[in-house]
Amino acid sequence: MTKQSYLDIAKEKRAARDSKFIKEWLLKADQLPGTGVKDVLNWPVSSGFLSAKEIEITESDFPTLAKHIKSKTWTAYDVTSAFCHRASIAHQLVNCLSEVFFEEGLARAKELDDIYARTGELVGAFHGIPISLKDNLNVKGQATTIGFVGFSFNPVEFEEDSCLVSMLRDMGAVFSFKTNVPVAMMMPDSINHIYGETVSPFNRDLSSGGSSGGECALGALLGRIYCGIGSDIGGSLRIPAALQNLFTLRPSSGRFPTLGSRSGLPGLESVASVNGPISTTLSNLELYCKTLVNEGKPWLHDPKCLEIPWRDTELPEKLVFGVLKDDGVVKPYPAISRAIDTTIASLKKAGHEVIEWEPLNHERLTAIVGEFFLSDGGKHCKEYAGLTGEPFFEYMKMYETAKNMGVAELWDLQVERTKLCKEYLERWNSTAYQTSSGRAIDAIIMPVSPYSGVEVGKFCYIGYTAVFNALDWSAGVIPVTRADKAVDVQDKSYTPRNVKDQATYDSFEAEKINGGAAAVQIVCKKLQEEKCVAIMKVVAKLLGTDTYWNKSL
Amino acid sequence: MTKQSYLDIAKEKRAARDSKFIKEWLLKADQLPGTGVKDVLNWPVSSGFLSAKEIEITESDFPTLAKHIKSKTWTAYDVTSAFCHRASIAHQLVNCLSEVFFEEGLARAKELDDIYARTGELVGAFHGIPISLKDNLNVKGQATTIGFVGFSFNPVEFEEDSCLVSMLRDMGAVFSFKTNVPVAMMMPDSINHIYGETVSPFNRDLSSGGSSGGECALGALLGRIYCGIGSDIGGSLRIPAALQNLFTLRPSSGRFPTLGSRSGLPGLESVASVNGPISTTLSNLELYCKTLVNEGKPWLHDPKCLEIPWRDTELPEKLVFGVLKDDGVVKPYPAISRAIDTTIASLKKAGHEVIEWEPLNHERLTAIVGEFFLSDGGKHCKEYAGLTGEPFFEYMKMYETAKNMGVAELWDLQVERTKLCKEYLERWNSTAYQTSSGRAIDAIIMPVSPYSGVEVGKFCYIGYTAVFNALDWSAGVIPVTRADKAVDVQDKSYTPRNVKDQATYDSFEAEKINGGAAAVQIVCKKLQEEKCVAIMKVVAKLLGTDTYWNKSL
């Protein structure tokens, strides 16, 4: 018996996935836009392959869906079917789905309809609402590869849902597929040896980002129905959300359940992997958070969750923002700088106070997060890759050569991290001396990454996000604008400050990244998720991007 | 230049401490009770060395002190002076103080009086209130040895308060001394090469326990004025509190600030060291918690603190308890079993529901906590002991031989711990199917340790407490009764189940431990500190031990 090569196993896995699509929804090559068509954002709606009803459903947000399901205008089956059909089209445009189980989703939707018809009662707050899942969440009856070929059929099917999936399912949510990720979810491009690469629907020459790239590429094509769950340990929610101009929230650890997810770095606690919603609407995002926490009570199910309800927030009428334009390590692309400037102008015009946020310890905190990632000497990732002998991508070569750190050294690193976090907190407190209100800032406005679009393999700096993983603070992303080659031109007089800054500077090609997304990050302190979402709403409304994904139907 | 031996340094340090006592308060050997006098609980009051006013002050709880300071019946100086005088007597009975800085405390009290006289304003909620500190908290201008000879003069003086100390100081609290601990705070007896051993005032042949043994031996002699801060990573608040029948609360991590404390295991995060109040009254304990959290807002100062206010709790009229009499690993001494039985009877009589709590994973979770302690291979402890070459005590020999664990192995251990914690949580949830109310239990009632008094060197099992460090749950201790050799007789037919059970069984000598304290532990889930304190109040009131430390004056 010869051992199957990783390529053979990957091929087999792809075929297994492909067999799960619904034939009538698969388009022929000549029905799809050619590779020359970069921007496919409007294609699912404009192509004519979705019915008017399917478009209406998929352009409805959660509250609207819930209303129609309750009133029986739409069945859960209608909703799931429209959702899966549109996802199927999206997949054919950007290669975003990994596990596909439309049939199971449709069967569950039918079951929910039957229950509702029979009992007159909805199963829960998410009755019939489709929620997309990143491929680190286990779904009973499905595999979870997290991009490792060796996990393609290992196990063939999980016997239990992840804690979060189980909770959402109990509240009536419907799951029909999972989305593509980078190997181990530890690269900023969503690429692996099983499914290849997920590209951005803003510009298909560009990366969807990572690690929640499958989610975000999908989400940008799915309409206002879209809400998916991604995860974030160094920027994995925020980076792809920003590269696709979606809304997301990276919560502090303990707000949402993470128990029973698959990870490339299982047991790592020095920096916590968290999960959070990604959506085309703030209404979906907020409803998700509030319902999950207040009705789901995650602390009853996940021992790491904190018994804190989703609290009502009252914001001061005039907010105070710290703005960070450049962290002093890697200078953002012009469109990102423009997005920040646009945001500042909107805030000031509305009478909010804006002061400068001077970054502190960003480079070292980012480096420490990287050391935590590698602290097991890559043992777990090597073991998983070793199941089939698949090679590491360039981004992950360091996992091959890393050294298993001693716990004594880890403790010292944790001491250093805590010291830097204290300094960061003190700097925040000290802004009270700079503001006209005498209050410390309410939030930081800053880039999510240097990139307003980036080709696969060129993303080289996670410092704008990873610092808040080290701090474990709440951070949201909202859309602002798109890169425009006519406006966003590079400052030719700039002298890069270091290797990563140089690489980022050199990778900028206005023509190539044209049309890329440019979002901003809104950062609040630890456990201030409610406040963060409330501020995201205020800022998006001022920018006019709260309706960024609204289509006139 | 010859290097000083650790004995010489320790001697020098002791002399330095002893020079800080106020001469007039030091008693001659023949004024003190002889070593034959075991129980010295009443000695500070009955001996005649305290004035009536000093007794009245030290027998007042925080609300009473605050009232008298505000009305100027007493000055902060009066209060601090009485507190220090009584502590000085206590020290001469049980050897409980490590750093002594009465002068600084008295000077600060004077300063507070001056401020109040001048401005008419109190500095804060703790204006003039004396709070005792375990010797892991740094106080500006003082050393912190945590029992290592090498830290006797290293640094000679800390330049900054620990975060908690700084917060309390800002609220007006007065600090005049710190209390003795075991080396590295990692032994269940408060003994070290600098100060020797702190004994129990219940029976001076017995250990005060550890690691907050200095606090608890002191506290039991200090009257209702007493509230001290101890810490707990495996039972270090609860074990000595129970061995001295004091009230304490081990909070979940993130409620109270720990930043800037000294530790023998710095950077350990797999199991969190927390601190909490120990007191002779529940009024002090509750006021401390509420004020520290709601006025101090620890999350503004310690990056690990959670932004959760101290919340009002409303308990159901009829509570549901799970009772654990024996964890199946080490059988408690008879007086502990009697304390549990007495508690159950009181609860049932009052109409509360009591079901059996079947322990789950206690042995393994306790073992994992032990592995976390040793996971740096004892590197830090060895380094600190190595500063002077002081030998390890028997209890800590394992730190000499431990192996620096690899982080990969640590991750696996953390995965296992989380899995066991999930099972524990599920068991808690499942009690809903056992109770007549259909609600899960509100709290567990159980022993704190097997011992109702124990000689130094014989405490060998921390499983009754450490499991809740692994879980990071809230757990309180309340007094019940004292060991009585006439009643608490050993079951001679019992066959011990393992080595530790055997050692515990063999160490029981009714005569020797006569008069020892017998408390119970009340356990609530993570972040349920408010509920835990509310339940402690209910149970102590039913037992009549809410007034355990009241003296009729």
Strands (E), B101-150: 132-134
Cβ atoms of A212 and A134 closer than 8 Å: yes
* Each residue's pLDDT expressed in tens, for chain B with a length of 553 residues: 467 899 999 999 999 999 999 999 999 999 999 989 999 999 999 999 999 999 999 999 999 999 999 999 999 999 999 999 999 999 999 999 999 999 999 999 999 999 999 999 999 999 999 999 999 999 999 999 999 999 999 999 999 999 999 999 999 999 999 999 999 999 999 999 999 999 999 999 999 999 999 999 999 999 999 999 999 999 999 999 999 999 999 999 999 999 999 999 999 999 999 999 999 999 999 999 999 999 999 999 999 999 999 999 999 999 999 999 999 999 999 999 999 999 999 999 999 999 999 999 999 999 999 999 999 999 999 999 999 999 999 999 999 999 999 999 999 999 999 999 999 999 999 999 999 999 999 999 999 999 999 999 999 999 999 999 999 999 999 999 999 999 999 999 999 999 999 999 999 999 999 999 999 999 999 999 999 999 999 999 999 999 999 987 6
Nearest residue in B to A255, CA atom: B306
Is residue A1 predicted with pLDDT exceeding 60?
Answer: no
Instruction: Determine, for residues B418 and A259 on separate chains, whether the beta-carbon distance falls below 8 Å.
Output: yes
* CB contacts, 8 Å: B296 with chain A: none
Is some CB atom of chain B closer than 8 A to the CB atom of A411? yes
Tokens describing residue A176? 């029909």
Cβ atoms of B169 and B161 closer than 8 Å: yes
Cβ atoms of A545 and A485 closer than 8 Å: no
The SS3 call for residue B82 is helix
What distance in Å separates the CA atoms of residue A377 and residue B216, rounded to the nearest whole number? 44
Report which secondary-structure segment, H or E, holds A517: strand A517-524
The SS3 call for residue B134 is strand
Cβ atoms of B378 and B345 closer than 8 Å: no
**φ, ψ of residue A200 in degrees (nearest 5):** -85, 130
For residue B508, the Cα-to-chain-centroid distance in whole angstroms is: 23
Same fold: A17-300 with A320-543: yes
| Min Cα separation B421/chain A (Å) | 6
The SS3 call for residue A363 is helix
The one-letter amino acid at A417: R
The SS3 call for residue B354 is strand
The one-letter amino acid at A469: N
Nearest to A422 among B303, B414, B415 (CB): B303
**φ, ψ of residue A497 in degrees (nearest 5):** -95, -15
Cβ atoms of B385 and B392 closer than 8 Å: yes
Instruction: Determine, for residues B411 and A300 on separate chains, whether the beta-carbon distance falls below 8 Å.
Output: no
Report which secondary-structure segment, H or E, holds A274: strand A274-279
Chain A interface test: which of B372, B375, B407, B414 (most A C-beta within 10 Å): B407
What distance in Å separates the CA atoms of residue A144 and residue A136, rounded to the nearest whole number? 6
The SS3 call for residue B401 is helix
Hey, where are the domains in chain B? 10-24+37-300, 321-482+513-543
Cβ atoms of B399 and B323 closer than 8 Å: no
A478-A480-A486 Cα angle (round to 5): 150
Tokens describing residue B90? 């206590």
Tell me the mean pLDDT in the region A292-312: 98
Report which secondary-structure segment, H or E, holds B93: helix B76-94
Which residues pair with residue B132 across a beta bridge?
B228
In CATH, which of 3.90.1300.10, 3.40.50.10420, 3.10.150.10, 3.40.50.150 is domain B321-482+513-543?
3.90.1300.10
CB pairs under 8 A between A and B: 126
**φ, ψ of residue B24 in degrees (nearest 5):** -65, -20
* CB contacts, 8 Å: B259 with chain A: 418, 422
Instruction: Determine, for residues B302 and A422 on separate chains, whether the beta-carbon distance falls below 8 Å.
Output: yes
Question: In this predicted model, what pLDDT tens digit does every residue of A184-224 receive, in sequence order?
Answer: 999 999 999 999 999 999 999 999 999 999 999 999 999 99
Question: In this predicted model, what pLDDT tens digit does every residue of A152-191 receive, in sequence order?
Answer: 999 999 999 999 999 999 999 999 999 999 999 999 999 9
What distance in Å separates the CA atoms of residue A89 and residue A72, rounded to the nearest whole number? 26
Instruction: Determine, for residues A408 and B269 on separate chains, whether the beta-carbon distance falls below 8 Å.
Output: no
Cβ atoms of A63 and A283 closer than 8 Å: yes
Question: In this predicted model, what pLDDT tens digit does every residue of A69-123 receive, in sequence order?
Answer: 999 999 999 999 999 999 999 999 999 999 999 999 999 999 999 999 999 999 9
CATH number given to A320-543:
3.90.1300.10
Tokens describing residue B17? 């401490």
Cβ atoms of B548 and B244 closer than 8 Å: no
* CB contacts, 8 Å: B267 with chain A: 410-415
Report which secondary-structure segment, H or E, holds A320: strand A320-323
CATH number given to A17-300:
3.90.1300.10
Which residues pair with residue A406 across a beta bridge?
B406
What is each CA distance from A62 to A115, A223, A287, B412, in whole angstroms? 20, 11, 8, 39
Measured distance between the N- and C-terminal CA atoms of chain A, rounded to whole angstroms: 58
| Among the listed residues B99, B191, B96, the one whose alpha carbon sits nearest the alpha carbon of residue B147 | B191
Tokens describing residue A540? 């998006």
* CB contacts, 8 Å: B380 with chain A: 408, 411
pLDDT band at A376 (very low <50, low <70, confident <90, very high): very high
Is some CB atom of chain A closer than 8 A to the CB atom of B360? no
Is some CB atom of chain B closer than 8 A to the CB atom of A397? no
What is each CA distance from B485 to B35, B488, B505, in whole angstroms? 20, 5, 15
| Residue A30 CB partners (closer than 8 Å, separation 6+) | none
| Residue B236 CB partners (closer than 8 Å, separation 6+) | B185, B210, B211, B212, B230
B210-B543-B239 Cα angle (round to 5): 10
**According to the model, what pLDDT value does residue B553 have?**
67
Instruction: Determine, for residues A410 and B414 on separate chains, whether the beta-carbon distance falls below 8 Å.
Output: no
What distance in Å separates the CA atoms of residue B5 and residue B296, rounded to the nearest whole number? 43
Is residue A2 predicted with pLDDT exceeding 70?
Answer: no
**φ, ψ of residue A333 in degrees (nearest 5):** -65, 160
**According to the model, what pLDDT value does residue B3 have?**
72
A422-A426-A428 Cα angle (round to 5): 120
What distance in Å separates the CA atoms of residue A71 and residue A89, rounded to the nearest whole number? 29
CATH number given to B10-24+37-300:
3.90.1300.10
**According to the model, what pLDDT value does residue B551 have?**
87
- Is B437 or A544 the better-scoring residue by pLDDT? A544
Tokens describing residue A147? 């991009």
Instruction: Determine, for residues A408 and B307 on separate chains, whether the beta-carbon distance falls below 8 Å.
Output: no
The one-letter amino acid at A14: R
The answer to whether the Cα torsion of B537, B542, B543, B546 is positive or negative is positive
Question: In this predicted model, what pLDDT tens digit does every residue of A456-501 receive, in sequence order?
Answer: 999 999 999 999 999 999 999 999 999 999 999 999 999 999 999 9
Question: In this predicted model, what pLDDT tens digit does every residue of A315-360 receive, in sequence order?
Answer: 999 999 999 999 999 999 999 999 999 999 999 999 999 999 999 9
| Among the listed residues B107, B110, B238, the one whose alpha carbon sits nearest the alpha carbon of residue B176 | B107
| Min Cα separation A399/chain B (Å) | 13
